[in-house]
Amino acid sequence: MPKQTLPQVPIKKGEPAYKLWIFEPGWKGELPLILNPRQLAEQKRPALLPGHRLCAGCAAPIIVKLASFAFRGPTIVVNATGCLEVATTIFPYTSWAVPWIHNAFENAASTGSGVEAAIKALKKTGRLPYEHVDVVIFGGDGGTFDIGFQALSGAAERGHDFLYILYDNEAYMNTGIQRSGGTPPFAWTTTSPVGKVIPGKQQAKKPIADIMVAHRIPYVATATPAHWLDLMKKVRKGIEVDGPAFIHALSPCDRGWRHGTELAIEIARRAVDTCYFPLWEWTPETGYMLTDRSLAIARNPSLKQPIEKFVEVQGRFKHLLKPENRELLKKFQEYVDLVWEDLLKRAANAPK
């Protein structure tokens, strides 16, 4: 194989569209954040290469690729155990065009802490051949809400300079759709089945992004792959701030949510349209700021869709549409409204 170099910008005709990201020692500068779709398509190559084994219709690789379009230079990716990890690296193959490490399930944030500390120590002693190396961590909802939460909270408190991107498919999908702290109320999973007595998960979704706000780290945001410009901008901000940043990205899962493989982006859009998953960002200076579609809905509440719009396309909620469960659907709507109203009260740019 010929020697690889940093992707040529713009991509020349006849060149492979996918290459490793090579930053030769001494590389200086910053990769541009391109927000024009045409230029983006022509000039950017993702850090996640094709050939991975994630399911058809999975939103996780879309989130990763969009995020990598916003990387600013040399970047080390840390991955918690989960779908993304197992499906992108089955030995002897890897889909990662950047240095990548997977340690275990619950310790992506602490592994990232170590990588970041190493970068600092190498820089201090003149052994780092770059101005900066960014650390981006990807974890699923199990590895973030539940088993990895202690490591994440600790790393955030210690103030390591990393961006943690949670791709939230709202259950343990890698092991076969078990409930997690990220699973919404009433959702069917294999460990919160819809039985004769109990109709799906009985508890609320842990407000993980708000919990990260409570850590008062420099940057917290929510994002979806459907609102891709918003996502890329947020990733770049998260990388640029000095200290920990956290992005909660909703990641529709056709296997677990029981929807068609062509619907991931549509469902992510409906999650925002129904205010089930509002888009916002938070910094200690600005407080909560609504972004993109959620800001539009706040300004024009008639744009807000009923929760049925989100529920009706997913098999995991199909019991909510039965006439005898109308009460449950109402409860779900109330839950969504409560979370949304609460956010409106806090969002600095929401019309008062």
Partner 1 sequence: MTEAVKTPKIPPEKQILMTVNGDEAVAYAAKQSLVDVVAAYPITPQTIIVEKFSEFVANGEVHTEFVPVESEHSAMSACVGAAAAGARAFTATAANGLALMWEILYIAASLRLPIVLAVANRALSAPINIHNDHSDAYGMRDSGWIQIFVENVQEAYDTTIQAFKIAEDERVLLPVAVNLDGFFLSHTLENIRMLPDEEVHKFLGGYRKTYPKVKVDYFDEEVPLILNPARPLSFGPLDLYDYYYEHKMHQIEAMKRVPEVVREVNEKWYELTGRKYGDGVLVPYGVEDADVVVTVLGSTGGTVRHIVKKLRSRGYKVGTIRIRLFRPFPHKELAELLKGVKVVGVMDRGISFGSYGPSFLDISTALYDLKERPLLVNYVYGLGGRDAQPEMIEKMFMELLEIAKTGEVKEKLRFLGVRE
Return residues touching partner 1 (CB under 8 A): 1-4, 20-25, 27, 74-76, 78, 85-86, 89-92, 94, 96-104, 106-107, 109-122, 124-125, 127, 129-130, 133, 150-151, 153-155, 157-158
Q: Which residues pair with 41 in a beta bridge?
A: none
Is residue 150 within 8 A of residue 108, CB to CB? The reply is: no
Q: What angle do CA 78, 79, 80 make, to 5 degrees?
A: 130
Nearer to partner 1, 6 or 296 (CB): 6
Q: Would residue 51 be called left, alpha or beta, if left means φ above 0 and alpha means ψ between -120 and 50 degrees?
A: left
Is residue 88 within 8 A of residue 94, CB to CB? The reply is: yes
- Distance of closest approach, residue 207 Cβ to partner 1, in angstroms: 21
Nearer to partner 1, 52 or 316 (CB): 52
- Distance of closest approach, residue 173 Cβ to partner 1, in angstroms: 15
- Distance of closest approach, residue 105 Cβ to partner 1, in angstroms: 9
Q: Are strands 287-290 and 280-283 parallel, antiparallel or unpaired?
A: antiparallel
Nearer to partner 1, 75 or 314 (CB): 75
DSSP label of 189: B
Kindly report the backbone phi and psi dihedral angles of residue 122, in degrees, each rounded to the nearest multiple of 5, phi listed first. -65, -40
Nearer to partner 1, 75 or 291 (CB): 75
Name residue, tokens 């990393």.
162
- Distance of closest approach, residue 177 Cβ to partner 1, in angstroms: 19
DSSP label of 140: E
**Nearest-angstrom CA–CA distance, 141 and 200:** 18
- Distance of closest approach, residue 108 Cβ to partner 1, in angstroms: 9
**Inter-CA distances, 109 with 128, 135, 250, Å:** 22, 10, 19
- Distance of closest approach, residue 236 Cβ to partner 1, in angstroms: 18
Nearer to partner 1, 125 or 302 (CB): 125
DSSP label of 271: H
Nearer to partner 1, 119 or 329 (CB): 119
